[in-house]
Amino acid sequence: MTSAATKSKASHLIPGATGDWEVVIGLEVHAQVASNAKLFSGSSTAFGAEPNSHVSLVDAAMPGMLPVINKECVAQAIRTGLGLKSQINLRSIFDRKNYFYPDLPQGYQISQFKHPIVGEGEIEIDADGEALMVGVERLHLEQDAGKSLHDQHPDYSYVDLNRSGVALMEIVSKPDMRSSKQAQAYVTKLRTILRYLGTCDGDMEKGNLRADVNVSVRKPGSPLGTRCEIKNVNSIRFIGQAIEVEARRQIDILEAGGKIDQETRLYDSARGETRSMRSKEEAHDYRYFPDPDLLPLEFSQNYVDQLKASLPELPDEKRARFVKDYGLSTYDAAVLVAERTSADYFEAVAKGRDGKLAANWVNNELFGRLNKQDLDIADSPMSAAQLGAIVDLIASNAISGKIAKDLFEIVWSEGGDPAQIVETRGMKQVTDTGAIEKAVDDIIAANPDKVEQAKAKPSMLGWFVGQVMKSTGGKANPAVVNDVLRAKLGL
C-alpha cells in the first residue's frame, strides 16, 4: 500500500477572487499516555475523580519535591514511535518550559524541547480515495497542566490538579496536509494507531486527544504563508471546520491587500469562527533549559527491540492481510480495521468461513444495527460466535438470506444459539423438491388465469415465486422454486 501513497498533489485548491489558493496544514496532537500513574509521580490518572483527589506532593510542587520518571510512560512513547515508523532516540532530554499560571504548580512544565524521545516518522492516510504519506516531525513526552475552573464561585477561580503531571505525548506532523479532509483523516488515522497500540485511549470528549492546528495559505507554487495556530481543538469535526473557516479568513485578508499576523487563535464552534488569543509579540518566552532534577533519559536498542517484538499488528498491516487472506475489498478491509475491536470481531466471525460473507454481515448488518442503537462493538449483544453460526447457516443453504435477517433480529434481541433457533422455530430452508412441487401445484391450480397470463408474459414468474414463498413461510429455497415453476409453467 505504501507505494501507492504520495505527497499531496495540491489538488484541493480553494477558489478566491484572485484565483486559487492552497491551504497548508500541520498538526500538533496532544495524546494522553495510557498509564495508571502520572509522568513523574505515582498519582493515579483516573478520569472523573473528585477535584484534587489525585494530587501528590510532587504534582502540587511542594518545596523540595523531585520528579521521578514513570518507566511505563517511556515505554508507551517508544511503542507509539515504533507504531509511527519513527526514529527512536536512545538518549533524550527533559527540559523545563517556564511560565506562570495557577494550574501549573511548578511554574514550569517538564517537556522535551531540543532532544525528543522520538524523531521523524510517517503516517499513511486515505482522504477521499487519495492515499497520502504525512510526515511526523517528532514525538515528545511532557506533563499536562491542571485545570482552572472559572464557574465555581463569583469572585474566585478554582484549580483542580488531578490532571497536573499526567503524561502527554505531543505528536508533531510536518506541514504536509493540503485540505481539511486530509487533516481529519490524519487525526483519525493517528487515533486508530494509538488505540491499536494501547498507548492512548483517544477519547476526545475527555480531552485525552486534542490538536493544535497550524494553518497558512498561499498561491500554488509560492513560498509558505504566515501561519496561525489554532489551539486545543477537541473533535475531528471541529478540526475540519476550524481549518475551513481559518483558511477562508486568511484568504479574505490577503485578497483585501492585508497581511496575516502570526498568532495563536481559538476556534469558537458555536459561532463558527476563529478568534485571536495572543499575538506573536505577546507570545511567552518559555526560557527552556534542561531540567536539572532529571538525568538524560537513556535506554538500550535492546529494550526498544523487545518493545517492538511485542507490538500488536497495526491497522495498515491488518488491512493488507484482510485483503490478501479474506479476499476483501480495500474499502471493506479499511472499515473493519478502523477499530481494533471490530477487526478482532470480524476475524472471529471469518475464521474458517467465507471472509467476504463474514465481512458483509459485520459491515452491513452488525455495524448498521450497532449504529442504530449507538452501541460500541464491545457492547454488542451478539457475539462473534453467534454471528458466525448465522453465516454458517447461510453458507450451508440451511436458511435463505431473507430468513437470515429475521434470524439476526431474533438472536440480537433474544440471544440464543442460531442453529437451535432455526430448528425449533422451523425456519429451515425447504429444499425438498416434493414439498415445493406440491406448493407450486396448489398455486397453479388456484390461479388458472395467471397461468395463462404467464405464458404470454414470462416475467409473471416473479408473481408465482412470491406466492410460493408466501405459502411456505419464506422457507423454500428460491432457486429450487424457480426451477420447479419454470418446468411446470413450461417457460
Please choose, out of 18-26, 54-62, 366-374, 379-387, the segment that lies near other proteins by the rule CB under 8 A.
Answer: 54-62
Cell numbers representing residue 384 in the block:
462473534
Going by C-alpha positions, the residue among 406, 408, 413 that lies closest to residue 387 is 408
* DSSP 8-class letter at 10: S
Nearest to other proteins of 95, 263 (CB atom): 95
Cell numbers representing residue 176 in the block:
504536509
Q: Nearest distance from residue 94's CB to other proteins, in Å?
A: 11
Q: How far apart are CA 267 and CA 43, in angstroms?
A: 32
Please choose, out of 201-209, 285-293, 469-477, 481-489, the segment that lies near other proteins by the rule CB under 8 A.
Answer: 285-293
Q: Nearest distance from residue 65's CB to other proteins, in Å?
A: 7
Nearest to other proteins of 159, 247 (CB atom): 159
Q: Is 375 in the site for other proteins (CB under 8 A)?
A: no
3-state secondary structure of 31: strand
For the residues of 107-167, what is the DSSP string, one character each?
SEEEE--SS-SB--EEEEEEETTEEEEEEEEEEEEEE---EEE-SS-SS--EEE-SSTT-E
Q: How far apart are CA 267 and CA 233, in angstroms?
A: 7
| Binding-site member from 154, 221, 292, 352 for other proteins (CB under 8 A) | 292
**Residue 398: how many CB atoms within 10 A of its CB?**
18
Q: Nearest distance from residue 103's CB to other proteins, in Å?
A: 9
| Binding-site member from 7, 18, 107, 395 for other proteins (CB under 8 A) | 107
Nearest to other proteins of 108, 267 (CB atom): 108
Nearest to other proteins of 71, 405 (CB atom): 71
For 310-348, letters b (16+ CB in 10 Å) and e give: eeeebbbebbbbbbeebebebebbbbbbbbbebbebbbe
Half-sphere exposure of 220 (CA within 13 A, CB side): 13
Residues in the chain: 491
Q: Nearest distance from residue 74's CB to other proteins, in Å?
A: 13
Q: Is 102 in the site for other proteins (CB under 8 A)?
A: yes
Q: Is 62 in the site for other proteins (CB under 8 A)?
A: yes
In Å, how far from its chain's centre is CA 268? 24
Q: Nearest distance from residue 79's CB to other proteins, in Å?
A: 22
3-state secondary structure of 209: strand
Q: Nearest distance from residue 30's CB to other proteins, in Å?
A: 22
Q: Nearest distance from residue 64's CB to other proteins, in Å?
A: 4
Please choose, out of 21-29, 101-109, 382-390, 428-436, the segment that lies near other proteins by the rule CB under 8 A.
Answer: 101-109
Kindly tell me the sign of the dihedral angle through the C-alpha atoms of 112, 118, 122, 128. Answer: negative
Q: Nearest distance from residue 206's CB to other proteins, in Å?
A: 25
Task: Give the binding-site size for other proteins (rule: CB under 8 A).
Answer: 29
Nearest to other proteins of 96, 191 (CB atom): 96
Half-sphere exposure of 151 (CA within 13 A, CB side): 0
- Classify strands 167-173 and 130-143 as parallel, antiparallel or unpaired: antiparallel
Q: Is 68 in the site for other proteins (CB under 8 A)?
A: yes
Going by C-alpha positions, the residue among 342, 275, 84 that lies closest to residue 190 is 84
Half-sphere exposure of 332 (CA within 13 A, CB side): 19
For cell 476483501, the residue is: 328
| Binding-site member from 21, 108, 267, 345 for other proteins (CB under 8 A) | 108
Q: Nearest distance from residue 102's CB to other proteins, in Å?
A: 5
Q: How far apart are CA 189 and CA 306, in angstroms?
A: 25
Nearest to other proteins of 68, 375 (CB atom): 68
Please choose, out of 55-63, 75-83, 182-190, 345-353, the segment that lies near other proteins by the rule CB under 8 A.
Answer: 55-63
End-to-end CA distance of the chain: 50
| Binding-site member from 5, 14, 61, 491 for other proteins (CB under 8 A) | 61
Amino acid at 240: G
Nearest to other proteins of 40, 186 (CB atom): 40
Going by C-alpha positions, the residue among 297, 278, 293 that lies closest to residue 96 is 293
Q: Provide the β-strand partners of residue 173.
A: 136
In the region spanning residues 295 to 314, those forming contacts with other proteins, defined by CB under 8 A, are 295
In the region spanning residues 139 to 178, those forming contacts with other proteins, defined by CB under 8 A, are 159
Please choose, out of 80-88, 135-143, 281-289, 337-345, the segment that lies near other proteins by the rule CB under 8 A.
Answer: 281-289
Q: Nearest distance from residue 414's CB to other proteins, in Å?
A: 57
Q: How far apart are CA 289 and CA 178, in angstroms?
A: 34
Nearest to other proteins of 66, 479 (CB atom): 66
Nearest to other proteins of 60, 320 (CB atom): 60
| Binding-site member from 5, 10, 69, 489 for other proteins (CB under 8 A) | 69
| Binding-site member from 289, 351, 364, 479 for other proteins (CB under 8 A) | 289
Nearest to other proteins of 145, 197 (CB atom): 145
| Interface positions with other proteins (CB under 8 A) | 57, 60-69, 96, 98, 100, 102, 105-108, 159, 285, 287-289, 291-295
